[in-house]
Structure 1
């Protein structure tokens, strides 16, 4: 009889440890053969690490069709997260988000979503041909950030598009904003739609106390969770969670359309070990994260000028809740764009924060941070204000620009196109992505009309030093537009 699984177990890690003791002679891939063929790589990563970079085999299971240790690890993950099923992902949350979209929508079918979604959502629509129906988020004009989705706006979109297949929700946004997820899930199910949730930045919701509701607890059908962000696993490792409405076998087939057949056991074991750590110690760990974030927020606000915002933004609807672990700070009152503070912290003080946009920065605080690191951040921000602050003039504060969708993302992406200078592209329909990364939210997506405010925003973001990605022209001096859709 099979031993009962416990959250104290880490089946993939345990299998790797047993395999390591066997001293198997490798006549399979990877070709570095436990690091012997690449001594420089071994020196960098260590013998133990490269020795565990192995291929799928019977003792270690296979991610495409798990029946033993990977299967056990997924069962434990589902139990820990309160899901019906869990799928270990080695293509990042990007692949998990794409699997969600591809699981519920086909060509021409609609998904209701906020415009401030990650590029992975739009890329999935390019792949499957789904059509976006945007719920334009409310904005906080002082902070220059989009908020969550209003329940009334979601219901309006549902009534206008009763044939939509799903509603897509961010939980939370990059800045920590949470919509009324429970109400949105109830609305989706009332009208026969799925609710898909991007929880790239919400792993801790499942384990901490006093935090916003998680997707599975709210009754969502699918959720993509970045374990590598706040959960402690290796970069690129993620988990896709599903509720009881989603057929496990079909979702696995969708995942296998795009996920590698050569899954990294370094990533898989990191997911396994991190799940165990959070299941056993997550409550205490995230309580400490909250304490550090709240302390940093108070100290930064005491500096003067900066505004580190929190639950005071909550309005019962478009800001239903706030993730207090997110140290989001508006920098405009000190006369500096967020990206400028981001650059100054890195270049002058050797502090790497998560991102800076035109008006805000985000310092990501997680289970690996220490109180003395928080003190260093606070001290550096005080110095930045003292040394570099200036009058608040000529700073663009509004980040959200309402899109005009003219063509489906798939049709636009694959259409015949021409390249135009950015300044000449006004009125044309874009056939590629433009975004600041991070956070990876498109300023333009395929199928959207290029307007003057969008051109001005791109030029301003470039001037301020934002890292712009997406177009074929890496310098963002030209854009590809649909050839057949002149002004």
Structure 2
């Protein structure tokens, strides 16, 4: 799966599996899905329902073992580091750790996660789950086995050889947690539905936003209607966009302008 909303990864994957003559997925079901909607069976075919869930014991154990194998193998690839409990848990961090997502730090390769994800998709037909300015991520699921993870690992092992031919990763201004909490100047509804104007991004800091701008991934808004824009947030968005960040909900996807509350309606003006 990919977080790029300009594509249809599920349909593309089904087409790819069809061309390879492989079964796209085999979800566990009950009674081999004899109660499934006929229209669903018509689209998916009967083959995907051959799996029959009789007991769940062992599924999670197999999955954890497979994920551990993948994580260990990726850690051995030059220039890659798999974020683990030591990176993610501790004081001021997460309380616990899910081993199934494989989040790979590419700092050692000198390329961004955006560049890596594009290369893997174009040259190895592998879609990563999430990517950002220095990481790519995939998730091991019940649909995976050693055949599918072998394809992933083979593609990842080829990436360090391709990295020197890719442009150096642009620098992204990463925000501190406190910088992600701009002051709320007016109620969101008033900002969104009230009088607005579009201003150049260079003049947007200090103004009250009238739109939501969400870097994707992770899909968490950097700014919401009614919040007063700060210089760090503007720099994060502009440098991220240059590096390949996707801003699916901005009124100007190129971020040359930002929609703000009209000056005569801004309580701070």
Normalising by structure 1, we get a TM-score of 0.42
d(CA) in 2 for partners of 1:393, 1:49: 42
Deviations 1:63-121 (A, max 9, x none): xxxxxxxxxxxxxxxxxxxxxxxxxxxxxxxxxxxxxxxxxxxxxxxxxxxxxxxxxxx
Count of residues paired in the alignment = 228
Alpha-carbon deviation of 1:480? Answer: 0.8
Please identify, of 298-307 and 379-388, the stretch whose mean Cα deviation from structure 2 is larger.
Answer: 379-388
Structure 2 matches for 1:283-302, cutoff 5 A?
283-302=57-76
> What is the RMSD of the two structures over their aligned residues, measured on CA atoms?
3.2
Q: Deviations over 1:271-304 (max 9, x none)?
A: xxx9x95x932x4223222222211111111113
> Partners in 2 of 1:343 and 1:371 — Cα distance?
24
Q: Shift in Å at residue 333 of structure 1?
A: 2.2
Check the 8 A contact 2:212/2:249 in 1, yes or no: yes
Indicate conservation of the 8 Å contact 2:173/2:236, yes or no.
Answer: no
Residues 340 and 356, structure 1, Cα contact 8 Å, conserved in 2: no
Q: What is the CA distance between 1:16 and its match in structure 2?
A: 5.2
User: Which of 207, 211, 214 is residue 435 of structure 1 equivalent to?
Assistant: 214
Cα pair 2:173 2:235 within 8 Å, conserved: no
C-alpha separation between the residues in 2 aligned to 1:317 and 1:422? 33
Aligned to 1:395: 171
**Aligned partner of residue 369 in structure 1, secondary structure:** coil
Which structure 2 residue ranges, 5 or more long, are not aligned?
Answer: 1-28
Q: Is the 8 A contact 1:333 1:392 kept in 2?
A: no
Q: How far apart, in 2, do the equivalents of 1:50 and 1:369 lie? A: 19
Matches within 5 A, 1:417-456: 417-456=196-235
2:257: which partner in 1? 478
Provide the rounded CA distance (Å) in 2 between the counterparts of 1:344 and 1:392.
14
Match runs of 1:167-186 below 5 Å = none
What residue number does 2:78 align with? 304
SS of structure 2 residue aligned to 1:435: coil
Q: CA deviation at 1:311?
A: 1.6
Which piece of structure 1 moves more, 332-341 or 466-475?
466-475
Distance in 1 (CA, whole Å) between partners of 2:196 and 2:234 is 19
Distance 1:378 1:306 in 2: 12
Gaps of 5+ in 1: 1-7, 21-33, 35-44, 52-269
CA distance in 2, matches of 1:342, 1:369: 20
TM-score by length of 2: 0.73
